[in-house]
Amino acid sequence: MRKRLLIVDDALIMRMRIREIAVQSGWEVVGEAASGQQAIEMFRTLQPDLVTMDIVMPTMDGVEALRIIREFAPHARVCMVSAVNQREKLSECVRLGAIDFVVKPFERARLESLFEKQGRDE
């Protein structure tokens, strides 16, 4: 069975790029969200195996969305994908339970590696 992915990014072009790489890596993209609030609602409904989460978004950022998702779903696997490369944000995301951090602009191979690693049956 294919692993299920929720893509969260306010930039449509980034969602399209992540979707393309995910699908080619054998993942099923079950949803796309453009804000942290949408991510929370979609996570509750879709229960994906993995979430790629941007940090800087309108309404609610990815850090807050990660915090809320991990409160009601401690098992959630969330990888932060953001142009923000600040130690403080990265440390906070790791403390909140993010499993990985990919810096934009990312190399295709970096996302392929993430999907391969997270796609293995545990």
The 10 Å CB-count burial string (b at 16+, else e) for 49-58 is bbbbbbbebe
Please give the backbone phi and psi of residue 10, each rounded to the nearest 5 degrees, phi first. -75, -15
Domain of residue 80 covers 4-119
Which pTM value belongs to this model?
0.95
Q: Into how many domains does the chain fold?
A: 1
Amino acid (1-letter code) at residue 15: R
- Domain at 53, CATH number: 3.40.50.2300
pLDDT of residue 85: 67
**pLDDT per 10-residue tile (average), the chain, 122 residues:** 94 97 98 98 98 93 97 97 78 94 92 94 56
| Torsion sign (Cα): 39, 119, 109, 30 | negative
> 104 vs 1, 9, 31, 88, CA distance in Å?
29, 12, 21, 17
